[in-house]
Each structure stands twice: as structure tokens, then as C-alpha cells.
Amino acid sequence: MPELPEVETVRRGLAPAMEGQMIARAELRRADLRWPFPPDMAARLTGARVVQLRRRSKYILVDLDRGESLIIHLGMSGRMVISGLNAPHVPGQFHFDHPAVEKHDHVIFHMAQGARVTFNDPRRFGAMDLCATDKLNDHPLLASIGPEPLGNGFHADYLGARLAGRKTPIKAALLDQRIVAGLGNIYVCEALFRAGIHPGRMAGRISVSRIATLTDTIRATLLEAIEAGGSSLRDYRQANGELGYFQHAFRVYGREGAACVTPDCGQTVRRIVQSGRSSFYCPSCQR
């Protein structure tokens, strides 16, 4: 499932096609994805102008000039595909300079300036919903999410306070979206390696100085991944169809049995299973 860097990369890719533009027609090619679409979704979107695109955790938020926001979750295989971005506007004409619609193209936004933004999702684990923009913080999908790891609300004092006394492994704590938003298995593994912290260490037993290092490495890892366009695992693609490249910079994730990248370490990367998920780490570099 796409994590924060992948979702942020998609948001940035969608901006040229959608921000400041009107949705000339919203086309729903089925009644649901993971859940049913909200009532009259196509009519509520058609004719609306996109004020801005934002990201909250792993969700893309499309703020509209009608006072509503479209919430988009990519799920396991969902992707947003842009076509005809530079096509000339032809009033009343929506299907030009675009590839043929495919079987799993479930939602299509025909933008007034000629671009087409298509949500393709073979497994249909993605989701879309509409919510009043000023009520987004109360939406069930967003209400309990913690601070953004790239925002000012995420810092060593905050993380230390949230981890204090916790008897769960640090890996599980960082995956808890109530503590910090948007982190998933890949980037937690990578950040813990950079911070030198074993994924099984109890969250409440990490020193203040190491928590400070951890917050810095989480931020640095995410920024590096965004710059690389995310990680192309399984179905992920950027909005322009290109692959992400951060997987080429993995230091531990998916490298079980490979030599540790730390010079003169001499150990190999190991894998353990925590709460049904694989954790990759170096037994020498991470304590």
C-alpha cells in the first residue's frame, strides 16, 4: 500500500492538471470502490473548481470551491493517471488526445482545460468520499490521525511524550497512525536503521537523545523518498506513469541476507515478523 512519500508524489503530480481548474464532468463507471460512493457524487463534482490539493497522512484531499472536499485513498493498487494535460480546450468535447478507457478505470475527471484524470484500481481497495471542507478534521477517516511527520507538530518532545511508558515495540508504535501520520512498513524500517534502533526495542525505553535522532531520520528518510518519487513496489506508479526510485536506496528493507551497507559492519540484514509484517534490520547497527 502506498505510504506518505508515494501519496505526496501523486499529489504533486496531480496539481498541474487539477489545481485552479474546473471539473467539467465527473464520470463514475461503477457504484463503489472499497465502499459505496457518496450520494450524487458525480453531480456534486461536476462544475466545481479545484481550489487546492492537499495530503493528510495517506489521503489526498481535493478542496472545491463549493465548500466540499474530495477524500481519495489509493488503497493497494489504485493509481491516478493524467492524460491530455497540454491539449487545447474544445467546449463540450471531453474525449480527445486520451488513451482508451480501460476495464479498471473506475472514476474519470474530465477537466475543463482538456486534461483527463483517471482513477484506476484493479483490486478496488481504494476509496473516495465527499465531506464539508470545514468538517474534515471530524471525518471518521481523519479524526484520530496524529501529526504529519514533515510538519511542525512532529518533533522530539512530542514523540518522546507519546512513547513514554509504552511497552509496545517501537516499530508498532511508529506504525500507529494516532501517533504519527502516514508512516508505513517500508519507511519505518529504513528510519529505524538510520537511527540505529532495533525494531523490537520497547518504545518507552528509548532515550531522549535517541528519540531526537529518530525524529530527524524519519523526516530525512521521507524527504529523500519524495525526492526520488517514492518506491515502486507492486502496482505503484507516479501520476505521470513513471516509476519511483527510492527502492534503489533501501538500506535494509527487503534485503534479508544481504550485507549491511555500513562499512566494516560485517553483518547481514535479518528479518523478523512483527504483528504479521516483516521487519528488516541489522543486528549490529541497531540496538
Residues with catalytic annotation? 2-3, 58, 277
3-state secondary structure of 247: helix
| Angle at 128 (CA atoms; ends 126, 133), nearest 5 degrees | 140
Encode 206-215: b = buried (16+ Cβ within 10 Å), e = exposed.
Answer: beeebbbbbb
Distance CA 267, CA 113 (A): 56
- How many contiguous H segments (helices) and E segments (strands) does the chain have? 6, 10
Q: Which residues pair with 273 in a beta bridge?
A: 278
3-state secondary structure of 132: strand
The H or E element that residue 195 is part of is helix 185-195
Reading the block at residue 260, the C-alpha cell is 549491511
Please report the DSSP string for 78-110 in residue order. Answer: -EEEEE-TTPPP-TT---SS-PPPPTTEEEEEE
Reading the block at residue 9, the C-alpha cell is 508524489
3-state secondary structure of 68: strand
Rg (CA), the chain: 21
